[in-house]
Amino acid sequence: MDLRKFAPFAGVAVLSVSLLAGCGGSSNNAASGGSSGAACPLTSAADPGNSQAPAGVPTADKAPKLTKTSGLKIAFSQNASNNPWRLAETASMKDEAAKQGLQLTITDANNDQSKQVSDIKGLIAQKPDALFIAPITEQIANVVKDAATAGIPVFLLDRAVDTNIAVPGKDFVSVMQSDFIQEGKRAAVQMAKATNGNAKIIELEGTTGASPAIDRKKGFDEAIKQCSGMQIVVSQDGDFTRAKGQSVAETLLQSHPDATAIYAHNDEMALGAIAAIKAIGKVPGKDIQVVSVDGEKDGLKAVAAGDLYATVECSPRFGPIAFQTMTDYAAGKPVKTLIINSDQLFTKDNAADNVAKAY
Ligand code: AHR
């Protein structure tokens, strides 16, 4: 979901990487084929960083009200528990609920969209005071609407839904997430540096229809247009999991033996891809450069080891912002319909130092 939809007139101020050429310097390696990256401005661009705070985002004024301020019963529909990122997000929600002494009911959809829809229907029937949802894909918008129709304020966590169906500020109070388009752009800059602006890229996409999969692709594609030497040779769904990432990478490395880089939409798929690269006797970080998104513990270790060139952070620690937003809403304070996290970048310069506090 393009975040500009939230503020169509004022717009989300997303930094253009083409305007950010400056410090940084490019690296040379076998995967670059040794060609000059002069035609690719991304090789010398600084990390574009987070997008600027979205301007002109409306506040939620038509969503069901939350008038209770104590003893709240909260529900959370988690979409899966199949990777460290999801486990960290759930733990963060539990920790915050415990800190505030609030009851939190959690369902796990096991990465199955129809299960998530039925989980949410079940939670609606329990009439929680507030409902947090981490959507699998943008297509669960109708059940989000159902919750609002039942008078339950909904807060979306980490992924968005189709806003043509579920109206921000009416069918849900707010969506809290990273700027996935910007993550794609940041990843593209790292990929350009890793490959000197010359790369035949295998893209491992996240779950089809999930907003991070849609937007991480979009941001990356947009950025590499500036570099004629960088092309995506094949792109396939790896479902955000290590096992699927590995099996898809194995197949694609065979069908595209000339590939020199892999862009994975999350660390788990990147780690699967690294295993696949090693299995065919190639060296990640030398023969094939890998860049991804998240910043999980194993991802940071892989960066420190030189297997993964860089990972753009996408923080899963939503508990504090989720509960603060809900508390503000209950207190009648204005709550924006879109709240964007700030994330950092992990490279060989800082990965090892961040392993201990990673999830
Ligand atoms: O929605 C955020 C993404 O979902 C994370 O990048 C990924 O690891 C998770 O499954």
Residue boundaries of the structural domains of the chain: 3-54+180-315+347-354, 73-175+316-343
Q: Does 273 have pLDDT greater than 60?
A: yes
Pocket test of ligand 1: the residue of 132, 176, 240, 292 to mutate, having most ligand atoms within 8 Å of its CB, is: 240
Ligand 1, atom 2, residue with closest C-alpha: 158
Residue nearest to atom 3 of ligand 1 (CA): 212
Distance CA 126, CA 32 (A): 56
Q: How far apart are CA 165 and CA 141, in angstroms?
A: 6
Question: In whole angstroms, what is the distance from residue 216 CA to residue 213 CA?
Answer: 5
Q: Which atom of ligand 1 is nearest to the CA of 268?
A: 8
211, two tokens = 């907003």
- Which has the minimum average pLDDT: 58-72, 212-226, 288-302, 313-327? 58-72
pLDDT of residue 52: 86
Sequence-distant (6+) residues with CB within 8 A of 65 are: 153
Q: Is the pLDDT of residue 24 over 80?
A: no
Give the whole-number percent of the chain exceeding pLDDT 90: 87
Q: Are 132 and 172 in contact (CB under 8 A)?
A: no
Which of ligand 1's atoms lies nearest the C-alpha of 158? 1
Q: In a mutational test of the pocket of ligand 1, which residue from 89, 294, 298, 313 has the highest number of ligand atoms less than 8 Å from its CB? A: 294
Nearest CA to ligand 1 atom 10: 240
Backbone angles phi, psi at 262, to 5 degrees: -130, 125
Tell the residue number behind the tokens 């979306």, with chain if given: 156
Mutate to test the pocket of ligand 1, among 175, 311, 314, 346 (most ligand atoms within 8 A of CB): 314
pLDDT at 175 over 60: yes
Separation CA 313–CA 1 (nearest Å):
19
Q: Confidence band (pLDDT; 50, 70, 90) for 214?
A: very high
Alpha carbon of 242 to ligand 1 centroid (Å): 12
Terminus-to-terminus CA distance in the chain, angstroms? 27
Type of residue numbered 94: K
Q: Are 358 and 350 in contact (CB under 8 A)?
A: no
pLDDT band at 2 (very low <50, low <70, confident <90, very high): low
Question: Residue 123: which pLDDT band, with cuts at 50, 70 and 90?
Answer: very high
Q: Please give the distance, rounded to the nearest whole angstrom, from the Cα atom of residue 265 to the centre of ligand 1.
A: 8
Please report the atom of ligand 1 found closest to the CA of residue 210: 1
Has domain 73-175+316-343 been given CATH number 3.40.50.720? no
Residues near ligand 1 with C-beta < 6 Å? Answer: 83, 85-86, 158-159, 212, 240, 266, 293-294, 314
Distance from the CA of 343 to the center of ligand 1, in angstroms?
14
Give the model's pLDDT for residue 308: 99
Distance 316 CA to ligand 1 centre (A): 8
Q: 220 — alpha (psi -120 to 50), left (phi > 0) or beta?
A: alpha
Residue 69: which pLDDT band, with cuts at 50, 70 and 90?
confident
For position 27, what pLDDT does the model report? 38
The number of the ligand 1 atom at minimal distance from the alpha carbon of 296 is: 8
- Which position has the token pair 């999980």? 296
pLDDT of residue 17 exceeding 60, the answer is no
pLDDT tens track for 142-170: 999 999 999 999 999 999 999 999 999 99
CA of 240 from ligand 1 middle (Å) equals 7
Beta strands in the chain (DSSP E): 73-78, 103-108, 130-133, 154-157, 174-177, 199-205, 230-237, 261-264, 289-294, 310-313, 338-340, 345-346
- The mean-pLDDT minimum among 33-42, 110-119, 198-207 falls in 33-42
Whole-number Å distance between alpha carbons of 297 and 267: 9
Q: What is the CATH number of domain 3-54+180-315+347-354?
A: 3.40.50.2300
What's the 290 CA to ligand 1 centre distance in angstroms? 17
